[in-house]
Structure 1
Amino acid sequence: MKQPAFFLPHGGGPCFFLNEQGPMPHEWRHMGEFLARVIADLSERPKAMLVISGHWEEKRFTVHRGERPSLLFDYAGFPAHTYQLEWNAPGAPELADRAAALLDAAGLPAGEETKRGWDHGVFIPLKVAVPEADIPVVQLSLRQDLDPAAHVAAGRALAPLRDEGVLIVGSGMSFHNMAARDGRVQRIADEFDNALTAAVEDPDPASREVRLIRWHDLPHARTAHPREEHLLPLMVVAGAGADGPGRNIFRDHVIGWTVSAFRFG
């Protein structure tokens, strides 16, 4: 069965696991409950996942083709137990090769590597969504130039994977400004989120693509994203789901931000 493509929020650092014993912290519980359902509620479990995180950039799109990647604890200042987390899903080298070939065929030369661990944009949300760690995963980097059109094109090139049972996941945050983390930014965050949702849900494919590529023209865009690495996974997902409009499937308010998730297909 054809899989959808998701843009998912991955929270802040190991936010869902701050309490070593006990429930998720209250502020992150709503998001955690959403992540726990998002794959479980699919009509068919994906054969594998291709994940694009806002925490990996390379000069060219690069796939991780390791068989059993380690975890990269690329956050700081959190409780000691959050650096002992485990999530041991297998890699999928054949899927990595397939993704690289699709990118190459689309004129987007792709690199491969085997040593980098999965960053927290991968293992933190997926540890919530797939606690059994039983779905193979391939991670794809962003391209360092942060060109939104190139990331939409990469998603379009990877779209055939959806017909092969692969779930394409963009992991980021729809609002990401570490200097604006209180209630004073709430109105701005709401206005940006409303405009971003309208762009994602635009039924006209050409208009939708232009509005997303020109995301910086949306209200308060550079307040929402002083640097756009956490938004660009959405561009890949939108390209992969370009056969139809997306829809907002989750909205929450955390640390003063408005945070949304989107589904295509």
Structure 2
Amino acid sequence: MSRLPSLFVSHGAPTFALYPGTAGQALRDMAARLLEAYGTPRAIVVVSAHWETAEVTVGASEQPATIHDFGGFPEALYALRYPAAGAPDVAAELVAGLNAAGLPAAIDRQRGLDHGVWVPLMHMFPQADIPVIPLSLPSHGGPQQALALGRALAPLAERGILIVGSGSITHNLGDYRRAWQQGGQTPAYVGEFADWLAARLAENDITNLLDYRHASPHGRHAHPSEEHLLPLFVALGAGGANCQPERFHAGVDDLVIAMDAYAFSVG
């Protein structure tokens, strides 16, 4: 198996599981491309915006539970399960690699799959037949630490492990109600920020990407807190040195959530 690309996916609201739309189709198509080109991954490691810890932590449950970490949504959502197995042996391999890269990592043998993990995977690999390892997001270190985490994960791509960062290109939920009150139009900043990111990624402009909160238009507004964008930096780092980005989906759900998705590959 040749080196797998890493992915960044926008997981949207939990209802994305029920209403996949064009973003869900894009995830299905990308998964099909990966399976055809590289075969079935040994395991999938997912860094989700919804598991933040002070220390990088690797989920090592043999059968991770489906976590419904949300409230107030349709009952049909709470009936959904993503019964993928875990992979404690690959989790141990992951911990060893992170430690060797100078990033101490803990193990959590109980951690399940939050909706940032299982919602996109339901569209990508609906059979749930590939082991899944959740990996926590060390949010206190910002983009630089997220990029370093991704770079530490990069060697796994050569060993048949798919690295996925799951977040959102824009994530200001306070704007959702305001957008409806103002006529149900997507605010201009959503597309402007998404396109700025796409341009900087295409140019491999790491300096400005890392400083997006100051260097970009609307960076702070698009992300009042950083946890939903940091998985993008993990995926970028995991793509390997001088990786090339492919923006394989661009779109907006719920007026304010940019659902862009990227693949990062070398050569």
TM-score w.r.t. the length of structure 2 is 0.90
Task: Give the Cα–Cα distance (whole angstroms) in 2 for the partners of residues 47 and 37 of structure 1.
Answer: 20
Q: In the TM superposition, what is the alpha-carbon distance from 1:123 to its structure 2 partner?
A: 0.7
What are the Cα deviations for residues 184-232 of structure 1, in whole angstroms up to 9, with x where unaligned?
55311111011111121114xxxx3222211212110011100010100
Q: Which blocks of at least 5 consecutive residues in structure 2 are unaligned?
A: none
Q: Are residues 1:211 and 2:208 paired?
A: yes
Aligned mate of 1:40, from 32, 43, 54: 32
- Residue in 2 aligned with 1:163? 158
- Residue in 2 aligned with 1:226? 224
- Residue in 2 aligned with 1:236? 234
Look up the equivalent residue of 1:170 and give its one-letter code.
G
Task: Give the Cα–Cα distance (whole angstroms) in 2 for the partners of residues 34 and 164 of structure 1.
Answer: 25
Match of 1:115, SS state, is coil
- Residue in 2 aligned with 1:21? none
Q: Are residues 1:256 and 2:248 paired?
A: no
Look up the equivalent residue of 1:230 and give its one-letter code.
H
Q: Are residues 1:51 and 2:46 paired?
A: yes
What are the Cα deviations for residues 85-140 of structure 1, in whole angstroms up to 9, with x where unaligned?
11111111111111111111121111110112210001111011111000111111
Q: In the TM superposition, what is the alpha-carbon distance from 1:78 to its structure 2 partner?
A: 1.0
What are the Cα deviations for residues 35-74 of structure 1, in whole angstroms up to 9, with x where unaligned?
2222112112322111000000111110001110101100
Q: Which blocks of at least 5 consecutive residues in structure 1 are unaligned?
A: 18-23
Q: Are residues 1:91 and 2:86 paired?
A: yes
- For the aligned residue pairs, the C-alpha RMSD in angstroms reads 1.4
Match of 2:12, SS state, is coil
- Residue in 2 aligned with 1:77? 72
Task: Give the Cα–Cα distance (whole angstroms) in 1 for the partners of residues 123 and 95 of structure 2.
Answer: 28
Matches within 5 A, 1:143-158: 143-158=138-153
Task: Give the Cα–Cα distance (whole angstroms) in 2 for the partners of residues 111 and 147 of structure 1.
Answer: 19
Task: Give the Cα–Cα distance (whole angstroms) in 2 for the partners of residues 63 and 144 of structure 1.
Answer: 15
Matches within 5 A, 1:10-29: 10-17=11-18, 24=19, 28-29=20-21
What are the Cα deviations for residues 157-193 of structure 1, in whole angstroms up to 9, with x where unaligned?
1100000011110011111110112355531111101
Look up the equivalent residue of 1:31 and give its one-letter code.
A
- Does the CA-based 8 Å contact 1:174-1:259 persist in structure 2? yes
Between stretches 250-259 and 169-178, larger displacement belongs to: 250-259
Q: In the TM superposition, what is the alpha-carbon distance from 1:34 to its structure 2 partner?
A: 1.2
Task: Give the Cα–Cα distance (whole angstroms) in 2 for the partners of residues 186 and 193 of structure 1.
Answer: 12
Aligned length: 252
- Does the CA-based 8 Å contact 2:60-2:111 persist in structure 1? no
Structure 1 residue ranges (4+ consecutive) displaced by more than 6 angstroms after TM superposition: none
- Does the CA-based 8 Å contact 1:156-1:239 persist in structure 2? yes
User: How many percent of aligned residue pairs carry the same amino acid?
Assistant: 39
Task: Give the Cα–Cα distance (whole angstroms) in 2 for the partners of residues 148 and 130 of structure 1.
Answer: 28
Q: In the TM superposition, what is the alpha-carbon distance from 1:33 to its structure 2 partner?
A: 1.1
Task: Give the Cα–Cα distance (whole angstroms) in 2 for the partners of residues 90 and 11 of structure 1.
Answer: 24
- Residue in 1 aligned with 2:133? 138
